[in-house]
Structure 1
Amino acid sequence: MTNRRDFLKTAAAATTAGVAGAATLAAPAVKAQSKIKWRLQTYAGPALAEHVIKPSIDAFNKVANGEMEIELYFADQLVPTGELFRAMQRGTIDAVQSDDDSIAAPVDISVFGGYFPFATRYSLDVPVLFNQYGLKEIWEEAYGEVEGVTWLSAGAWDPCHFATVDPINKLDDLKGKRVFTFPTAGKFLSRFGVVPVTLPWEDIEVAVQTGELDGIAWSGITEDYTVGWADVTNYFLTNNISGAWCGSYFANSERWEELPEHLKELFKLCMDSSHYYRQHWYWGGEAKLRVDGTKMQLTTIADEEWAKVEAEAEKFWDEIAAQTPRTKKVIDIFKKYAADMKKAGKPYRYS
């Protein structure tokens, strides 16, 4: 009888354990997933970021449906712009929106980021050069040689014009002018007597007011109005040294590879959304503010004199082409593209 009771107890315990085990095996495995969080810093200050990136990041966070959240930081908010690349490599920040030139990317093609003199005439030139003329593959190759950072996508921003305190009506008026601009644009403009000045983005308006700067060659007229520079400058030069700023998105490679494929695709779609928004925001804004803007008077350097700047750009291109085989490849593409657009005629090129 004792043995029978012991047997029944053991059998009952085994049955209970078996049922529990079966239930455990039948239930799907549930692994607690914490929300993925990224910190992304843009080159732009708050007012400008409202247009050049924030709408797309807001959309990403909404559609990611709680799986991922990108925290957006503005110019110099976490680290100075010139240190963004290294910070991204170290994982201090997860992603960056800027141009290669400003963040001191350690690649030979960084010289082409931002405003490379006369490489583009219109904003649509940038996506065509990347997607139809081979720049995308060159950028992927170059950043593939750098540890820790993945280049994701390039797009166009506004053209590069001078906004100045005093009027610019001829090339000689540029001599001695202290101007906030991008590194490569500054090197080129120094050939005409411009003194390039590097300052934190948020200090520019005050620097113009105090006389530390005579002007800005960092944007088109849309940004001048948006960020407040039109309030401290009096004149806008309609000649530009580039038809569109070339900027990119980058990410820390490890963090990018950790993302599931559907979140990678979502981020790519949001980058494209950002690129598209800027196309019409800048294109319409540049025209509207030239026509209806009341804060800056328009000035123009005569075509025959401005041709000297374009001729100097050709020399500058050849100097950059001599730096590495890859920079030569990019310059060759620029020359081929410029020739094709000239042959295509209006509306692709008017001269």
Structure 2
Amino acid sequence: MTTRRKFLTTGALAGAASLATPAVVRAQAPIKWRMQTYAGAALGEHVVKPAVDAFNAIANGQMEIELFFADQIVPTGELFQAMQSGTIDCVQSDDDSMASPTEVTVFGGYFPLGLRYSLDVPALFTKYGLKAIWEEEYAKVGVKHISAGSWDPCHFSTKDPINSLKDLEGKRIFTFPTAGRFLTQFGVVPVTLPWEDIEVAMQTGELDGIAWSGITEVYTVGWSNVTNYFLTNNISGAWIGHFFANMDRWNEVPPHLQKLLETCFEQSHYYRQHWYWAGEADLRINGGKLQLTTIPDAEWATVEAAAQTFWDEIAAESEVKAKVVEIIKKYNDVQVKAGRPYRYT
């Protein structure tokens, strides 16, 4: 016969087992992702590590991202292929550097003279429709486009002073593929090297300069130790960078963790907005190592005019590229007509 004592004992054990079930779920192995960034370790401390650390902490053991810096798993130029195949789960890069096969690749990194300020990037993606275009193009190749954000402007940091366009002729410059393609008309010789080799290449004379960043990165990563001059003219006011993921791996992640990834990456974009903005001005004045040079506005107008021609050449390559160029033109037209502080004419 079932006694009251036996009933209570059996019920208590059953209750304890049912209460313990969530603990068993929490104890399951977390989702593991490997993520590689375009940035070396010194730069990665600012542009990506805080976001990864925040995500890992808030995910509370449900998911963990292991972060790798530039070229640690694969060379930067192979990042897309590695992500598409699943060798890497997540990537932080621009489209151009990782050799993306999409129609929008040419706009990644520094699209010549397309942007004036860092806020232009989120404005174009969220208000002018670029986000939808990027998502569609990457979905076609099995990659999730998570978000886009802005980095620093693109200036020249060189051994010798640049005071005119003529001074650029014959200079071997480490830069992005599309920027290099544009700059060849001014005599620049684009050079592609692993990110971690740039400082040594400057010391050995393999490079004459760098057109890969603003002054904040030049100081942060140590390039200010191997260059002497910083050109205040830039070929783009902001770098367009992104977070991507292998689509299958993304779809395996529960919705609440997908949202957490998006939120942490958006916070990363915000951090860079103020980190770069403050550094670009402060280090020009207080950096102490680099001497500033400037190409006069009247002469630099030649570069700006050449950029407009370059845009049209890109637009002629495909319907998607034409659509993006049209959006960039429309956006810049609005900014110019709005005047200060949006555009200084």
TM-score in terms of structure 2 length: 0.94
Q: Deviation at 1:336?
A: 0.3
Q: Deviations over 1:168-206 (max 9, x none)?
A: 000000000000000000000011000000000000000
Q: Which amino acid aligns with 2:136?
A: E
Q: Deviation at 1:109?
A: 0.6
Q: Distance in 2 between matches of 1:299 and 1:208?
A: 19
Matched ranges for 1:251-330 at <5 A: 251-330=245-324
1:221 corresponds to which of 215, 236, 241: 215
Matched ranges for 1:1-351 at <5 A: 23=14, 27=18, 33-147=28-142, 149-351=143-345
Figure out how many residues of one structure are paired with residues of the other and give that number.
336
For structure 2, list consecutive stretches of 5 or more residues without a partner in the other structure. none
Q: Distance in 1 between matches of 2:247 and 2:141?
A: 10
Q: Deviation at 1:83?
A: 0.3
> Percent same amino acid among aligned pairs?
68
Q: Deviations over 1:229-279 (max 9, x none)?
A: 010000000000000000000001111111111111111110111000000
Q: Deviation at 1:33?
A: 2.1
Give SS of 1:308's match: helix
Give SS of 1:266's match: helix
Q: Deviations over 1:281-315 (max 9, x none)?
A: 00000000011111110000000000000000011
Give SS of 2:66's match: strand
Q: Deviations over 1:306-343 (max 9, x none)?
A: 00000000110000000110100000001100100001
- Structure 1 runs, 4 residues or longer, greater than 6 Å off: none
Q: Quick check: which has more Rg, 1 or 2?
A: 1
Q: Which amino acid aligns with 2:330?
A: K
Q: Deviations over 1:114-143 (max 9, x none)?
A: 000011000000000000011001111111
Q: CA RMSD in A?
A: 1.9
Q: Deviation at 1:23?
A: 4.4
Give SS of 1:340's match: helix
Q: Distance in 1 between matches of 2:259 and 2:329?
A: 33
Q: Deviation at 1:27?
A: 3.2
Q: Distance in 2 between matches of 1:222 and 1:27?
A: 55
Deviates more, 1:215-224 or 1:84-93: 84-93
